Amino acid sequence: MAQTILATVIKSMGWLRGAIDASTYVSSLPSEGGVSAVDAVAPNVTHLRPLGASTIKAIWEARALTAGIVLGLVIIFTVGYIRSPWRKLPPSPRRLPILGNALQLRDKSWLFSKDCKERFGDVMYLDGAGQPIIVCNSLKSAFELLERRSSNYSDRPRFIMAQEILNGGLLFALMRHNDRWRRMRRAAHEALTKRVLRNYHPVLMKEATVLVSSLLTPSANLRQDRHFKRVAASKVMSIVYDHPTIMSEHDQAAERIEIYNDRISKAAMMGSYYVDIFPWMNRIPERFAKWKQEGLQAFAEDSEMFKGLLNRVKVDLANGGDRPSFCASLIRHPDLGSLSELEMSFLAGHLYSAGAETTATSFLWWTLAMIAFPEVQRRAQAEIDDVVGRDRLPTFADSPRLPYVHAIIKEILRWRPSLALGVPHAATEEDWYEGMYVPKGTVCISNLWHCNHDRAVFGEDADEFRPERHLDKHGESLPGPVETNQAGHVAFGFGRRICVGKDMAIESFFIDTARILWAAKLERAQDENGKEVPLDIETIVDAGVIYRPVPYECVVKPRFAEVESILADERERFGI
Q: Which is nearer to ligand HEM, 83 or 230 (CB)?
A: 230
Contact region with ligand HEM (CB under 6 A), list: 80-88, 331-339, 473-481, 491-499: 491-499
Q: Which is nearer to ligand HEM, 236 or 443 (CB)?
A: 236
Count of residues that interact with ligand HEM, criterion CB under 6 A: 27
Q: Which is nearer to ligand HEM, 387 or 412 (CB)?
A: 412
Single out the residue of 75, 94, 82, 99 nearest to residue 25, CA to CA.
Answer: 82
Single out the residue of 352, 475, 360, 457 nearest to residue 414, CA to CA.
Answer: 457
Q: Which of 117, 177, 185, 206 binds ligand HEM (CB under 6 A)?
A: 185
Q: Which is nearer to ligand HEM, 45 or 487 (CB)?
A: 487
| Torsion on CA atoms 74, 53, 42, 258, rounded to nearest 10 | 20
Q: Which is nearer to ligand HEM, 350 or 379 (CB)?
A: 350
Q: Which of residues 83-142 bind ligand HEM (CB under 6 A)?
A: none
Q: Which is nearer to ligand HEM, 487 or 567 (CB)?
A: 487
Q: Which is nearer to ligand HEM, 80 or 493 (CB)?
A: 493
Q: Which is nearer to ligand HEM, 355 or 467 (CB)?
A: 355
Contact region with ligand HEM (CB under 6 A), list: 38-46, 329-337, 371-379, 488-496: 488-496
| Torsion on CA atoms 563, 565, 567, 571, rounded to nearest 10 | 170
Binding pattern to ligand HEM, positions 194-233, x when CB under 6 A?
----------------------------------------
Q: What is the 3-state secondary structure (H, E, C) of 106-130?
A: HCCHHHHCHHHHHHHCCEEEEEECC
Contact region with ligand HEM (CB under 6 A), list: 212-220, 277-285, 298-306, 497-505: 497-505
Shortest distance in whole angstroms from residue 424 CB to ligand HEM: 8
501 binds ligand HEM (CB under 6 A): yes
546-549 vs 425-426, strand pairing mode: unpaired
236 vs 551: CA distance, rounded Å: 24
Provide the 3-class DSSP secondary structure of residue 444. Answer: strand
412 vs 259: CA distance, rounded Å: 29
Q: Which of 371, 493, 517, 519 binds ligand HEM (CB under 6 A)?
A: 493
443 binds ligand HEM (CB under 6 A): no
6 binds ligand HEM (CB under 6 A): no
37 binds ligand HEM (CB under 6 A): no
| CB-based contact 20:10 (threshold 8 Å) | yes
| CB-based contact 264:357 (threshold 8 Å) | no
505 binds ligand HEM (CB under 6 A): yes
| CB-based contact 22:127 (threshold 8 Å) | yes
Contact region with ligand HEM (CB under 6 A), list: 252-260, 272-280, 349-357, 542-550: 349-357
Distances (CA, A) of 433 to 26, 142, 143, 156: 24, 11, 12, 19
Single out the residue of 58, 97, 55, 105 nearest to residue 80, CA to CA.
Answer: 105
Q: Which is nearer to ligand HEM, 148 or 392 (CB)?
A: 148
Shortest distance in whole angstroms from residue 329 CB to ligand HEM: 13
Question: At 434, phi and psi to the nearest 5?
Answer: 45, 50
46 Cβ contact list (under 8 Å, min separation 6): 35, 39
Contact region with ligand HEM (CB under 6 A), list: 83-91, 126-134, 163-171, 499-507: 499-507
Q: Which of 159, 373, 494, 518 binds ligand HEM (CB under 6 A)?
A: 494
Q: Which of 349, 355, 403, 480 binds ligand HEM (CB under 6 A)?
A: 355
Q: Which of 170, 215, 310, 499 binds ligand HEM (CB under 6 A)?
A: 499
Q: Which of residues 380-439 bind ligand HEM (CB under 6 A)?
A: 418-419, 422-423, 425
Measured at the CA of 415, the angle between CA 410 and CA 418, to 5 degrees, comes to 90
28 vs 25: CA distance, rounded Å: 5
Q: Which of 172, 273, 373, 404 binds ligand HEM (CB under 6 A)?
A: 172
Q: Which is nearer to ligand HEM, 48 or 409 (CB)?
A: 409
557 Cβ contact list (under 8 Å, min separation 6): 216, 520, 521, 523
10 vs 559: CA distance, rounded Å: 68
100: left (phi over 0), alpha (psi -120 to 50) or beta: left
Q: Which of 362, 367, 377, 381 binds ligand HEM (CB under 6 A)?
A: 362
Single out the residue of 52, 344, 312, 17 nearest to residue 187, CA to CA.
Answer: 344
| CB-based contact 183:316 (threshold 8 Å) | no
| CB-based contact 469:126 (threshold 8 Å) | no
Q: Which is nearer to ligand HEM, 31 or 150 (CB)?
A: 150
354 binds ligand HEM (CB under 6 A): yes
499 is in an annotated binding site: yes
237 binds ligand HEM (CB under 6 A): no
Q: Which of 241, 492, 518, 547 binds ligand HEM (CB under 6 A)?
A: 492
58 vs 120: CA distance, rounded Å: 36
510 binds ligand HEM (CB under 6 A): no
Single out the residue of 345, 354, 343 nearest to residue 265, CA to CA.
Answer: 354
491 binds ligand HEM (CB under 6 A): yes
Binding residues for heme: 499
Binding residue numbers: 499
Q: Which residues bind ligand HEM (CB under 6 A)?
A: 172-173, 185, 236, 350-351, 354-355, 358-359, 362, 418-419, 422-423, 425, 491-494, 497-501, 504-505
